[in-house]
Structure 1
Amino acid sequence: MTYSNGELVVVVDVADLDRAADFWTAALGYTRAGEPSTYQTLLPAVGSGIEVLLQKVPDRKQAKNRVHLDLRTPDLDTEVARLLALGARQLTADPLHEDGWSWHVLADPDGNEFCVLRPPG
């Protein structure tokens, strides 16, 4: 996937690079690339996909994310349980529903929200 002016990279602010890399590599099936510094690059373990760049920042998350990741799955309950076991926190008690989609809102170990969705049908 390429952006018209180059590559698309998603940057996630984190407090602890190792903890965040452990979580997101397991959650997404990605691997670490390069040596960590203030940044840690995560790339798909197999095939192509969007690069995720973890950026260590000193400030704590304070408000709702304006941009977030959506992880799609055919088995919502199993995927949510897997992500919770990796260290995510569940922010919705019951699944949300709209236009045939069902989803939960979770947070990574740094509090960054993301959604786990089951498509219609």
Structure 2
Amino acid sequence: MALRPVQVNIKAVDGLAVGRFWGEALGWSVFSPGVTTYVGPGGGRVWPEPVGLGIDVVPVPEAKTSTKNRLHLDLATTSATHQADLIARLRSLGATPVDVGQGDVPWTVLGDPEGNEFCVLEPREIYRDTGPIAAVVVDCVDPRGMARFWGEAMDWDVLEVSDDQASLRSAEGGGPYLEFLRVPGVKAVADRVHLDLMPYPGDDKAAEVGRLKGLGARDLDLGQGGVPWTCLVDPEGHEFCVLAVSLV
């Protein structure tokens, strides 16, 4: 048994506006079937994506604080000109520069219209076939431990593991990487960005949740009540959800 990541979940006060920002930023379609706003490359109504991850923006009443999210997106570029043009276009859409102590680096850190951090990377050969999202990046204390947990939790391959970083990617070789980067300090507050996972058709969601708990996940009570998904945290406290099984 294994789960597949299907989307990055972003909380926002104005979910539709933030969803439209990400649709324009990535060149993807925006679909708002109800409360949430889904952004995806497959025409918006294709869910879950066969390969890769969509973005689901969920409205919440609370604005983002100044605390940096421990999960963010890295955007890929193909040339220095592409990087500069993309940064300019993102700023025209409402993105703003963010200082997270990055210093003099070849990538640019921005915030979406509600301040959720993301990076526009300089061209890197490793991301040549990822699409617009190069990687979903998670700050952590122990990349090796995160690779063990997430490598068992998901059906993605573990590609690299060291004391400073670890990376996973779909065995199908498409879409973004999932990367864990070592940072000082443990997670202290809830993030506004997290991953949503889903069992495959025919697999049992309750059994998958039990398996994750055996690997070190813990229950998370956000006051969600009787919903069809299950909220958990990984061994370092990063929030994630296990969704109900899709027929796709």
TM-score band w.r.t. shorter chain: 0.7 to 0.9
Aligned-pair identity in percent equals 35
TM-score (norm 1): 0.80
State the partner residue of 1:90: 219
Which of residues 48, 57, 65 in structure 1 aligns to 2:191? 65
| Cα separation, partners in 2 of 1:35 and 1:21, compared to 1, 3 Å | closer
Aligned 1:16-27 pairs, distance under 5 A: 16-27=142-153
Which of residues 67, 81, 85 in structure 1 aligns to 2:210? 81
Distance in 2 between the 1:57 and 1:35 partners? 15
| Cα separation, partners in 2 of 1:49 and 1:79, compared to 1, 3 Å | farther
Is 1:40 the counterpart of 2:169? The answer is: no
Distance in 2 between the 1:77 and 1:52 partners? 25
The question of whether the paired residues in 1 share the 8 Å contact of 2:144 and 2:163 is answered with no
Query: What SS does the aligned partner of 1:105 have?
Result: strand
Q: What is the deviation of 1:82?
A: 1.2
The question of whether the paired residues in 1 share the 8 Å contact of 2:144 and 2:165 is answered with no
Which of residues 235, 239, 243 in structure 2 aligns to 1:109? 235
The question of whether the paired residues in 1 share the 8 Å contact of 2:144 and 2:161 is answered with no
CA deviation digits over 1:53-87, x for unaligned, max 9?
10111111111111000012253211101111111
Determine which structure has more spread, i.e. the larger CA radius of gyration.
Answer: 2
Distance in 2 between the 1:76 and 1:35 partners? 29
The question of whether the paired residues in 2 share the 8 Å contact of 1:30 and 1:42 is answered with yes
Indicate the RMSD between aligned Cα atoms, in angstroms: 2.7
Q: What is the deviation of 1:117?
A: 0.9
Distance in 2 between the 1:84 and 1:55 partners? 23
Hey, which of these two has a bigger chunk of strand by percent? Answer: 1
Distance in 2 between the 1:62 and 1:37 partners? 22
Query: What SS does the aligned partner of 1:22 have?
Result: helix
Structure 1 gaps of 5+ residues are none
Aligned length: 116
Q: What is the deviation of 1:7?
A: 3.8
Distance in 2 between the 1:19 and 1:87 partners? 10
Query: What SS does the aligned partner of 2:192 have?
Result: coil
Distance in 2 between the 1:67 and 1:36 partners? 25
Q: What is the deviation of 1:35?
A: 5.0
Query: What SS does the aligned partner of 2:243 have?
Result: strand
Which of residues 157, 170, 179 in structure 2 aligns to 1:53? 179
Distance in 1 between the 2:246 and 2:159 partners? 35
TM-score (norm 2): 0.41
Q: What is the deviation of 1:30?
A: 2.2
Q: Partner amino acid for 1:58?
A: P
